[in-house]
């Protein structure tokens, strides 16, 4: 009962508006705030016709390299933003905090950029056309983790 109770408390902290569509199982003991921010960004991304582009240092995990494929740009890797990709990235961030290796990330939906993140996901920029859920806004509005682009 104690674990279930703690999980409910964590869900309320992460989703203060009562959003119950996401089961929280992050490993908080090893994950930094940047990793949690990335997982929350990932959780609100659409899965159909969405791709993640990540520029990361060579020291990143083997699972990440197997999950992604090369692009025309040498340091940029790509992956389809589907349930499998999200699960592998969640595991890698929760257990190995791979966001430290992320220099740049871009998420595109239907060919249009909807999110860009920088410097280990310390902060990010959402498209002005992307609808950010209320729980996400409430969680991150006070610490300048994200902005919304005026241009795209």
Query: In the prediction, which pLDDT does 8 show?
Result: 52
Query: In the prediction, which pLDDT does 124 show?
Result: 93
State pTM to two decimals: 0.76
Instruction: Please report which helix (H) or strand (E) contains residue 34, including its range.
Output: helix 33-43
Query: In the prediction, which pLDDT does 61 show?
Result: 76
Return phi, psi of residue 88, to 5°. -65, -45
**38 in helix, strand or coil?**
helix
pLDDT digits (tens, 9 = 90+) for 76-94: 899 999 999 999 988 888 8
Question: Comparing 31 with 93, which gets the higher pLDDT?
Answer: 93
pLDDT digits (tens, 9 = 90+) for 32-90: 566 788 899 999 999 999 999 999 876 677 888 888 898 998 888 999 999 999 999 88
Query: In the prediction, which pLDDT does 28 show?
Result: 41
Which residue, among 91, 95, 118, has the nearest Cα to 107 in the 3D structure?
Answer: 118
Task: Report whether pLDDT(31) > 50.
Answer: no
| Alpha helix segments (H runs only) across 46-130 | 62-67, 83-96
Q: Residue 20 corresponds to which tokens in the numbers above?
A: 């119950």
Q: Which residues contact 60 (CB under 8 A, 6 or more apart)?
A: 98, 101
Query: In the prediction, which pLDDT does 111 show?
Result: 94
């Amino acid at each position: 009962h104690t674990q279930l109770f703690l999980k409910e408390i964590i869900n309320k902290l992460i989703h203060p508006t009562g959003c119950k569509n996401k089961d929280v199982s992050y490993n908080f003991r090893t994950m930094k705030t940047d990793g949690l921010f990335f997982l929350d960004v990932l959780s609100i991304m659409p899965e159909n016709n969405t791709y993640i582009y990540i520029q990361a240092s060579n020291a990143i995990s083997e699972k990440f390299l197997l999950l992604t494929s090369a692009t025309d740009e040498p340091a940029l890797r790509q992956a389809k933003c589907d349930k499998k990709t999200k699960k592998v990235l969640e595991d890698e961030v929760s257990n190995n905090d791979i966001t430290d290796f992320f220099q740049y990330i871009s998420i595109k939906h239907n060919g249009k950029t909807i999110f860009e993140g920088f410097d280990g996901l310390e902060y990010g920029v959402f498209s002005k056309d992307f609808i950010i859920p209320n729980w996400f806004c409430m969680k991150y509005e006070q610490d300048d983790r994200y902005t919304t682009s005026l241009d795209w």
